Structure formats: structure tokens, C-alpha cells
Structure 1
Amino acid sequence: MRAFASLLDALIYTRSRNAKLKLIADYLVATPDPDRGWAMAALTGDLDLPAVKPAIVRAMVEERVDPVLFRLSRDYVGDTAETVSLLWPEPPVAPTDAIDLSLGAVVGALMRLGRADAPATLAAFMDRMTPPERFALLKLAGGGLRVGVSARLAKTALAQAFALDVDAVEEVWHGIRAPYAELFDWAEGRGEQPTPANTPVFRPFMLAHPLEDARVDLADYAAEWKWDGIRVQLVRTGGETRLYSRTGDDVTRSFPDVAAAFDAEGVLDGELLVKGEAQRGEAASFNALQQRLGRKTVSAKMLADYPAFVRLYDILLEGAEDLRGAAWTERRARLEAFVPRLDPDRFDLSQVIEAADFDALEAIRAGARDAAIEGVMLKRRDSPYVAGRRAGLWYKWKRDPLTADCVLMYAQRGSGKRSSYYSDYTFGCWTEDGELLPVGKAYSGFTDEELKWLDRFVRNSTVQRFGPVREVEKALVLEVAFDSIHESKRHKSGLAMRFPRIARIRRDKPASEADRIDTLKRMIA
């Protein structure tokens, strides 16, 4: 456990991507099985320990530490695991019985826990651990490491450590269970390369570069709409279907209706959307899709109210035939022939945009404000389907963001490196009656210097405190950029913004001149 705790500590304080890769690679080479496998499961988000809930940890520490001190410390530190690991008191009598504190033993014990046993087991571990080890334990148990490492980066580190191809690692990843003994046997030359045969495994997505200010020749590139849902991969083999998100997360349980309808052997790439109310088959806004995201079980009412479907972009495999090496034009023809075999209520084809030249396409893009359109995709007609972003093959050309002048209302401390700053901002707009209602929350778009300025403003302008949240004087206007705005029954203003971020601090503008709710409602597509 000590080596894993040291790894997490080093990753938290390391910004360089290459340095993070080396830290993980060195750990994997030096650490025996199964510890390194469980570490990879934790870093890639594949470790699920359902018996340990945040409420259990809070109750445990409040039995041992003054609850007021804990809450004040948590508010200051900004992270529960770090606060508990530092505040946890030494036991009155040092434990004399031996407990295996290796990562594999700790994970094994946590996986066997029932909720009733969790407090005693966690306490026994923490009484025998140093603060960094307690921090690592609580991060493992809570399922949120947040150490600046994506699943892809962790797999890249593994590949580099053992001179493997990262795409080959990615391709077999979901066919192997943690702690990945077969994978490490292959990596160290003790076994054959695992294969995804008869297992619906994830294949890495092909991604796009932003177009920015470039222009392309439509003789070389095809244009499609960039739909505003979530990118998914449909995989069916061996009589089983799975849906994967862009990060390789299995989202099948959240969309059983789509999985049940995909009964043709192959691997397809598309956009998961929810049908709109206006017309059968039309896509609703991302806000409608959000009602179903992340649910482990979906009720019959949810299935009926938010019917999901996939707008298909590409075909990677047809049956056992791998098409990824073929040009886009060939894959497109194969996809067009494949789609009629599927349920039309659950699957349709993303249409190619017909435009005479780039200027015509630019005019078409400028006029598109459909709730589910995020922009335009440009795909080189001769491009193979390759993992990751490859220069010159695919471009994404997002539509220009919408903007509104909003008033800062509340602020909350961030987490991790921002735990000492008020960096999460809730802002609002005015009703016709002069009431300020929240319309969104943002924690990006500003520079480090602007963050420091905003933090000082919050501290000097606080009028009320609600736990970790501060209410501020309604005096500062923020220009907020967002991709789209939709009706929402969950918010008092009746609105929800998509990807809001702070575009500018408007110190020159009086709060009374910020935008009205009605102005934002007119922006709804």
C-alpha cells in the first residue's frame, strides 16, 4: 500500500504528462502482481467498491474527531479523503495483531465487505497506516482518485513500460478482468497476447482536431453534422451486445433499449441521442439525454419518456471483417448497406451535408441552431479509421458559442489544486420583476491571474455562508459563453446551459445591466 500511496502523492504534484507516464511505468515494472493490476484498475476507473459510501467515512471520523473541527477542516482543505487522512487520530493502544496492508490484500478485503462491516474494517486499516496510505485507501474506497490521470494515459504508461502497442492494450482491455494477470503475463513474455475473440470489447475511437482558422477542399473531405449527444461504440459478438462511451466506459445498463435492439454482428460508431417530442426520430437536446446518463437501472417510465437512439457515423467491423484500414468512402458505403438491417426506431444514419464548396458549407453551418447540433465534422474521404487524433484526417468545426452577461451569485471552493480558491461560480440573470435567478455554474475559462482576482472578490464581498458555499454581493458581471441553452424543469429559472465557461470579467458593466431571463429564453433552439 505504501508504494501505491507514494505513486498517488507523486502524481498529484506532477504536471508534466511525460513525467506522469514515467511514474506509472516505473511503478508497474517494480510492483508485483496482483498489486499493480489493482492499481491499474483504480487509475482507469475500473475498480468498484460499493460497500464504502462517503456517509460511512464521515460518520467514522466524527466518532473520533470533533464534528465541528472536521467540517471546518473539510471546508478549508476541500477534499474529504485528505481531511480524514490528516485528522484521523492515532489509536490509544497501538495494534499488535498483524494485518496484510498490501494493495491486493486491502482491495480484496474491501471487495468482500458488506455495508455493516465497512466501518470496522476501514478503521482497522487506517489505525495501522500513515496519512498518505490513509489518503490512498479512502480514494480507492470512494472510487474517485482525481490525480490528473485519464484511463488512456494509464494504459499508455503500461504500454510504454513493457514496449507494447497502446492500441493493442486498449483493444483487449475490456475482455480481461482486474487484476489483469493475462495482460501482465503477455507484457513480460510469459504468455500469448490476449485476443478479443467472442468478447464484445472496446476499440479506441478515431478523434478529430479542431478546425480553427483552416479551410479544406470538399473534394477531399466529406462534411457531416456534429450531433450533441455522447459518442458511443456499439459492439456485438458471441451473441452479446455492449455499448461503450468514448472513454471506454461500459454504458450498456443505462441504455438497455438500444443494446437489445442491436442484433447484427459488428462494431459501429455513432452518437447516442434521445428522441424529441416534436417529431418522431428528431433528436432532443443534450439536457434530455442527461436524464438517463449514469443510471445503473432505468425504469419503464424513463424508457418511455426519454427513448434513446443512435445516429450512426462509421463501421469498424462487419461480422468478423475488420474495416478500419479501409478508406472512409468504402466504410461509408458499407455502413449505408448495413443500416437497413437495424431497427429504424433505434438507429439511423448521419447524413452527409451537401455543399458546393467551403463557402457554401460555412453558410450552412452558420444557419444551424438545431438543439442537437454542435457543429460540423470534416472527414478526409481516403482516411482509414485510426485510434486517437491524426493530423489532417478528421476535423471538428464547432458552431460559434452563445454569450450572455450574468451576475455572480455564489462561489464554492474547488478541489485538488484549486482547494484553496473559490473557483466554482454560480451566476444568474434578471427576471422582468427584478429577481435574480441562477442560470448556470462554471469553473473554467479564466486565467490563473483572473482566478486569484475572482477569489479575492468572493472573500471581500461575501454576504452569507452556507457550509462551503459563499453568497456574494450582486455586483460583478461575468460574460458567460455556452454551446446551447435548453428548457429545464430542475432549475428555478427554467433554463440549463450546455458547457458554460467564463469568457470575460465585465468589471466595466453595472450588475443592473446584465441580461434578462427572457433574453436567454429567446436563445433556445
Structure 2
Amino acid sequence: MPRNALIVRVASFYDFARVCQSLSQTASRLQIAETVAEFLATLDPDEVEVAVRFFVGRATASGEEKRLKVSGRAVWKIVAAMTGGEDQGEEIFAAAEDFGEAIEMLLKLRASEPEPTLTIREVAARFEEIAAIEGPSSRGRKLDALREMFERATALEGKYLTKILIREMRHGMSEGTMLEAIARMAGRPVEEVRRASMLEGDLGRVARAMRPGEQARPSTGPPSAEAFGAERARAMKPLRPMLAQPMPNVAQAFAALGGKLALEHKLDGARVQIHCAGAEVKIFSRRLNEITRSLPEIVERLRNHGPRAFIVDGEVIAVDPEGRPLAFQELMRRLGRRREIERVRAELPVRLFLFDLLALDGELWIDRPYSERAAALKSLAQQVGAETVGRAEPRTVAEAEKFYQAALAAGYEGVVAKSLASRYTPGARGRGWIKVKRAHTLDLVIVAADWGYGRRKGWLSNYCLAARDEKTGRFVEVGKTYKGLTDEQFRTMTGRLRPLAISEAHGTVTVRPEIVVEVAYSDIQRSPQYESGMALRFARIVAIRDDKSPGEADTIQTMAEEFERQTVKPRPPR
């Protein structure tokens, strides 16, 4: 039954922190979901929305994370200066289990503990204020606002403020478990909540809408998942992109999809989702950040296209003056840019290729079969003057292999095989989409880096690479490499990693897992050196994937599957 607890007071952040602390000592996933559901039931709608985000390590709404720009190193410097613990870092990090506990230990150095006065709403408002600070001296003003919050925080509150800011909760509450907690709070089937989450993209807003008593007409119950999707289509809010599973060759993809499939060229570009309604056009990145201003030529092409409203999925690539594709790194100069847009536009034009239709004339199409969406997309693209990706429907493996080899010869990354019957499943690696690429690559996260020596002295230039464990959400190391980057990229990467630093010892800087890189490798080996039991052989970085979030990195489970697919594998240990 839905929980309709009587709300008698404003929820304190200290209560939230205590719940988090109890979760970290709970092994049962069901108990974690039940504990969180009971806590959420005591909150009002605004608090529910915020608390759900906080539980999964999000300080702000989905798509707003980039604006916060607060590093673990900044938190450490602020709190160390507050408490006089600047010279105790090595001892504290040796004793602490994680960065949040290290901040808690620092705060305990104060002469007295403040009374817990922070509320969940207040913390959320302060995060929003910090994210909104821009312009001259913005960094200093952000840190001042952060300092004021930590000065008021108890040691336990400071621990979880930090964990939220660096997105490293480590208390067992994954997004999947949170969906179960929301379902329990709302008294709704978990599949309905999961569907709503796929369409909404922000767990906080899902929880708020499903909270009993939030709706204007309580007798109708919380809105259906379809209501979420229809609202997003009307309001120009992005859906999470569907993802593809990797497979080593076209023959396996053909067999996995039962021979009823289409193949599409896989471009080495940036995923974009475009919402059009008359003169209004909005463009979103795969991480749901709005990037409309960065791509004015696409807006100009699609604006005033006619009476039809639609949402399309596609890929943007950078091209040279002759229209030939350029490297992915070149494209990153365009995305997210706010200044000198016209100059860079002239220097670095882009081309848009569409490959899916998500909504048309106010109706979601994601549950229609891919074959129907593809046909409608072809017609729509012709109407608005847009290009679509190269596509074929092979009848045999030989035809599929011929299309794949032609794609490679033309310079494409590979192909995406799509079941003709597949639905579009936002945010999921649907079984109906399979990517086949030339090289063995994985998208991994940098979790630490070594200071270089010799020619690379002064740069963080040897990177510890980690895959995500989809069961725990942790990042597990699987290899290390200094290969693949130019001197200029080493210099730039050093500048990006330093603000993410959590700790430093013996020439190795441990960083927050935020930067995703595409890593090519020859094969996967068994390795006792790593907790995962696997290591990449001859790893090299082939691209810095700023368009991907750490949550989209490849998983240990994917690595294990890739290992089993290898024709030649090391003998198992005796």
C-alpha cells in the first residue's frame, strides 16, 4: 500500500545523512529499498525529489551537473583550512575508507560540533546557487558559498555533502535499487516506475510525480509512464538515448537478431537528440545537456520546417572544407561552446545524420517497431532536408558482411545492427541494437594517474583505467596505459585531472571517476594484479569521450563476455 505518512516537520539533512550511514551498514538490497522508501514517505514532494537525487549521488537535476564544477580537491582545501588539518592529509587518507570519510575526520578536528540545522531543501538550494554562479571570479564565489555550507555542517553531514558532490555514495543504493524504493513508496509496480524513469531521465522528478498525494486528482493515481513520455514530447525535455550492445562480428549480430535486421553506418561523432516544433528547436547531448547554441547551422536548417513536431536521434560529425569527416576530438571543439561560435563554425563545420524517430506530432513512437520508425524517418528527413545514415537490410550473412566491409573501407567505425521489430528503450542497452566495430575497444574511466618522468615530466601521463561493476556501481581497475595521447593532450589532460584529485601518494594521484576514454586493446588477459581478475593487453587511448558519462562506461560484465568470446584465451589458473 502507498505510504501516506503525516508530515510534521521540515526534513533535516542530518536525518538524510543518518539514513545513508545506515545503508552503508546494510547488505540486503531489499532492506536498503525498504529503508529508503520509508524515509521518502515522510517527506513532502519537493523534499522527495531532492532526496532521491542525493541518494544516488546527484547534486542537481539530470543535465545540470556540468554547471556545478566543484572538485574533491576544492572540498579538501576548504575543510582543511577550516579545521587546521592541512598537514594531516597523509594520516587521514591512510585511515579513511573513502574521500567522504576523510572529510568527516577533518571536520571532527574542530573544537566543537555545530548543531545540525541544515535542511534537505536548503542544501539543494545552495547547490543550485553554486551551479548558477558564472562570470568573473566565479570559482572564488563558488568556493565561498561551499565554505559557508561546510561551516554549518556536522561531521556526518559534511561526509555526505562531499559524497554527493563527488558522486561517490558507496552505500549500496544503485539506480536500480532506487527504482524499487520509489515503487514501494508509491505502491506501484516496479516495472511501471522503471518505464517512467526511462522516459523521464531524472529519478527525482519520477519520484515526485509518483508520490501519493502529489497529483491534482488523487483518485486517478500517479501518472502513467506514457504520461511522462507525452509530457516530455510536448515540453521539449530530452529522453535518455538507447544504447547498443557490442559484438565482435557481423555474423554473430545477424544470428542474434534472427536474420531480420537492418545495418546502419556507425559514425565516429557525437550523439544528439533534436526536438523541433515550428520555429523552436532544441538540441541535447547524450548526457542530456542542452547544446543548441553550439550548433546554429542545424537549428537554421530545421527551423520553420513546417507544421510537424518531432523528436529525432542522430549523430553530428565534424568535416573539413571538402566535407570529409574529421576526428572525434575536433568535434569536441564545437560542443558546449558558448563563445566565438560563429568563428569556430566557419573553421569547423558539422554534418548531421539522423537514424531514429522518437516522437512525431506529439505522439511518442518509441514502442513502434524499428522498421516503422525508419520508414517514417526517411520521409520526414526528405521533408526537412536532413541526411540519414547509410542503411541496408541484408537477407544473408554474406550481404551483411559486404555492407560492413564497405562501411570500413569508407572510413566508418563499423555498423549498428538493428532488429526490424525492436522498440526504442531509452537509457538501456536494448537487445535489439548491436554495434560491430573494427577494433576491440571499451569505454573506460580514469581513476588515477602517475606523474610522468623524462619527456613527460610534469604531466599526469600514465592512466589507471577502470570498468564499471553494474552490480555495485563501483569502478574496478582493468589496466593502465600512457599510450595514445599527444604531448598537447597530455598537457590538457593534466589540467583536467588535477581539479579532480582526491588524494596523492608515491607519485600517483587518485581522481574522481569522471573522465571517460575510449581504449583500444589487442586482447583481455587474466590478471591477479587487479580485483577484476582481468587486464587489457596493449591498451591505448584512442579518444577522450567527453560526450559520455561515467555511468555509460563499459562494465566488468561486458569485459567478461568479451573475454569469453576470444578465440585464444590464456589457460585458467591452477
Give the TM-score taking structure 1 as reference length.
0.66
1:450 offset after TM fit, Å? 2.6
Counterparts of 1:429 and 1:112 in 2: how far apart (Å)?
39
| 1:4–1:374 distance in 2 versus 1, CA, 3 Å | farther
| 1:266–1:298 distance in 2 versus 1, CA, 3 Å | farther
Counterparts of 2:156 and 2:126 in 1: how far apart (Å)?
19
Counterparts of 2:274 and 2:350 in 1: how far apart (Å)?
13
Which residue pairs with 2:199 in the alignment?
171
How many residues get paired?
453
Whether the 8 Å contact between 1:231 and 1:246 is mirrored in structure 2 is yes
Counterparts of 1:341 and 1:236 in 2: how far apart (Å)?
13
Structure 2 counterpart of 1:138, one-letter code: T
Equivalent of 1:38, from 43, 50, 57?
50
Which residue pairs with 1:92 in the alignment?
111
Which residue pairs with 1:491 in the alignment?
none
1:230 offset after TM fit, Å? 3.3
1:375 offset after TM fit, Å? 2.6
Which residue pairs with 2:387 in the alignment?
348
1:200 offset after TM fit, Å? 0.6
| SS of the residue 1:241 aligns to | strand
Equivalent of 1:102, from 119, 128, 132?
119
1:247 offset after TM fit, Å? 4.9
| SS of the residue 2:41 aligns to | helix
Structure 1 counterpart of 2:325, one-letter code: A
Structure 2 counterpart of 1:242, one-letter code: K
Counterparts of 1:55 and 1:86 in 2: how far apart (Å)?
16
Pairing 1:378-393 to 2, within 5 Å after superposition: 378-387=417-426, 393=432
Which residue pairs with 2:79 in the alignment?
61
Counterparts of 2:285 and 2:419 in 1: how far apart (Å)?
24
Structure 2 counterpart of 1:334, one-letter code: A
Q: Could you report, residue by residue, the CA deviation over 1:177-218 in whole angstroms, capped at 9, with x for unpaired residues?
A: 969755535667747636346311233544444446454378
- Gaps spanning 5+ residues in structure 2: where? 1-12, 443-449, 453-460, 487-492, 494-516, 545-552, 564-574
Equivalent of 1:276, from 310, 319, 323?
319
Q: Is 2:167 the counterpart of 1:144?
A: yes
| SS of the residue 1:324 aligns to | coil
Counterparts of 1:23 and 1:35 in 2: how far apart (Å)?
16
| SS of the residue 1:449 aligns to | coil
Whether the 8 Å contact between 1:227 and 1:271 is mirrored in structure 2 is no
Q: Is 2:385 the counterpart of 1:339?
A: no
Structure 2 counterpart of 1:85, one-letter code: E
Once the two structures are overlaid, the 10-residue window that deviates more, 415-424 or 156-165, is: 415-424
Equivalent of 2:362, from 320, 333, 342?
320
Once the two structures are overlaid, the 10-residue window that deviates more, 63-72 or 44-53, is: 44-53
| 1:171–1:413 distance in 2 versus 1, CA, 3 Å | closer
Normalized per residue, the structure richer in helix is 2
Q: Is 2:521 the counterpart of 1:451?
A: no
| SS of the residue 1:393 aligns to | strand
Question: Which entry has the higher C-alpha Rg, 1 or 2?
Answer: 1
Which residue pairs with 1:135 in the alignment?
159
Whether the 8 Å contact between 1:171 and 1:203 is mirrored in structure 2 is yes
| 1:412–1:295 distance in 2 versus 1, CA, 3 Å | same
| SS of the residue 1:373 aligns to | coil
Which residue pairs with 2:508 in the alignment?
none
Which residue pairs with 1:480 in the alignment?
538
Which residue pairs with 1:426 in the alignment?
481
Once the two structures are overlaid, the 10-residue window that deviates more, 75-84 or 215-224, is: 75-84
Root-mean-square deviation over aligned CA pairs: 5.1
1:348 offset after TM fit, Å? 1.4
1:411 offset after TM fit, Å? 5.2
1:223 offset after TM fit, Å? 1.3
Q: Percent identity over the alignment?
A: 20
Give the TM-score taking structure 2 as reference length.
0.62
1:338 offset after TM fit, Å? 0.8
Whether the 8 Å contact between 2:26 and 2:32 is mirrored in structure 1 is yes
Counterparts of 1:453 and 1:150 in 2: how far apart (Å)?
20
Once the two structures are overlaid, the 10-residue window that deviates more, 284-293 or 154-163, is: 154-163
| SS of the residue 1:310 aligns to | strand
- Gaps spanning 5+ residues in structure 1: where? 432-437, 455-476, 488-497, 505-525
Whether the 8 Å contact between 1:425 and 1:441 is mirrored in structure 2 is no
| SS of the residue 1:450 aligns to | coil
Q: Could you report, residue by residue, the CA deviation over 1:451-486 in whole angstroms, capped at 9, with x for unpaired residues?
A: 2699xxxxxxxxxxxxxxxxxxxxxx972256x847
1:126 offset after TM fit, Å? 3.7
Counterparts of 1:367 and 1:40 in 2: how far apart (Å)?
48
Which residue pairs with 2:504 in the alignment?
none
Structure 1 counterpart of 2:355, one-letter code: Y
Whether the 8 Å contact between 2:244 and 2:435 is mirrored in structure 1 is yes
Structure 2 counterpart of 1:396, one-letter code: K
Q: Could you report, residue by residue, the CA deviation over 1:211-248 in whole angstroms, capped at 9, with x for unpaired residues?
A: 46454378621111222333332122475333334454
| 1:62–1:348 distance in 2 versus 1, CA, 3 Å | same
Counterparts of 1:85 and 1:295 in 2: how far apart (Å)?
37
| 1:413–1:76 distance in 2 versus 1, CA, 3 Å | farther
| SS of the residue 2:368 aligns to | coil
Counterparts of 1:240 and 1:310 in 2: how far apart (Å)?
18
Whether the 8 Å contact between 1:226 and 1:375 is mirrored in structure 2 is yes
Structure 1 counterpart of 2:392, one-letter code: I
Counterparts of 2:259 and 2:417 in 1: how far apart (Å)?
11
| 1:168–1:119 distance in 2 versus 1, CA, 3 Å | closer
1:424 offset after TM fit, Å? 6.8
